[in-house]
A and B are shown apart, each in its own frame.
Chain A
Amino acid sequence: MNTDREIDKISDEDLIKSIVKTNDTVLFEVLYDRYSKIVYNKCYGFAKDEDEAKDLTQDVFLKLFVKLITFKGTSKFSTWLYAFTYNHCVNYVTRSTQKKIEKQSIESSGLENLSDENDEDDNSIHRMKVEYLKVALELISPDEKMILLLKYQDLLTVKELETVLGIGESAIKMRIKRAKERLINAYAKTTCHGESL
């Protein structure tokens, strides 16, 4: 149908504006079709099994319909949606496992030379093997896993992370640095021979 083709040509941002304006469920279906696979797979990364991934995806899309109005267009919609999805998953995992995520206070002394260290650590990360990386990601906190996925899987820049997570540049860099350190330690534990990076 012609109308279907026209709908498919609409940019994400225009589609969101129309959904917010009209609450049209047919338009929301178009958004679901565009992003259900990626959202489902992201949820799967935090879920124990397929059923849990389905429940998480269902909740994300319901929440998305209600909260779509809060998308202000300051970042790409896909970027915003990834952070939205991870936030939901992190809250779910944190609540369900009763894990208390320690508050990460940021010491000013630790903020020096962050960019140089980050580049060096990226080489360590690129040398990791996928099967061990998967296990290592389960050993760090969901918050740390989220920021690493946003940076290395979805390739968000520090600026984009600042926008979608609503925290400053220094805090972002510090969180990435700490998450990477934890991941590298966890990775060393998961490899049989303590494979060094």
Chain B
Amino acid sequence: MQKPHAMENPFRNLDRPLKNVPEDLRAKVMNDIATAKLIMELASLFSINYGKVIESTISKRTITKK
């Protein structure tokens, strides 16, 4: 039972009871995620890893000096 004089924070009850997530949403979200993953992976194929390029250039240069 609730205490009669307890002052409750009304913000805590704003969204109560919590609504259930529509079941079809999960599939839609995961479909989006699969597409996003594919795009991210494709994009990474066409981008240059500058870190690796610089690293390999520097190491080659050091070897030539020696």
Residues of A within 8 A of B (CB): 23, 25, 28-29, 32, 36-38, 40-42, 44-45, 50, 54, 57-58, 61-62, 65-66, 123, 125-130, 133-134, 137, 148-149, 152-153
Q: Contact: B15 with A41, CB < 8 Å? A: yes
Interface size class of B (residues with CB under 8 A): 20 to 34
- CB interface residues, B 27-59, toward A, < 8 Å: 28-30, 32-34, 36-37, 40-41
Beyond A25-B34, A126-B7, A149-B14, 13 extra complex contacts between A and B, CB < 8 Å: A23-B37, A40-B21, A58-B28, A61-B32, A62-B29, A65-B33, A66-B40, A127-B7, A133-B10, A133-B14, A137-B14, A152-B9, A152-B11
Contacts of B26 in A (CB 8 A): 29, 32, 36
The answer on a CB contact under 8 Å between A25 and B25 is: no
Contact of A153 with B36 in the complex, beta carbons under 8 Å: no
Q: Is the CB of A128 within 8 A of B33?
A: no
Q: Are A37 and B18 in contact (CB under 8 A)?
A: yes
Check A130–B33 contact: CB distance below 8 A: no
Among B9, B21, B30, chain A packs the most CB atoms within 10 A around the CB of B21
Interface of A is mostly: helix
Decide: A125 and B25 in contact? CB cutoff 8 A. Answer: no
- Given known contacts A66-B36, A125-B11, is B19 in contact with A32 (CB within 8 Å)? no
A sample of 18 cross-chain residue pairs with beta-carbon separation below 8 angstroms, ordered by A number, consists of A23-B41, A25-B30, A28-B30, A28-B33, A29-B26, A36-B25, A37-B18, A37-B20, A44-B19, A50-B22, A54-B25, A57-B25, A123-B7, A125-B10, A127-B7, A130-B10, A130-B13, A152-B9
- Measured between beta carbons, the chain B residues less than 8 angstroms from A152 are 9, 11-12
Q: A128: which B residues are within 8 A, CB to CB?
A: 10
Are B25 and A62 in touch, CB under 8 angstroms? no
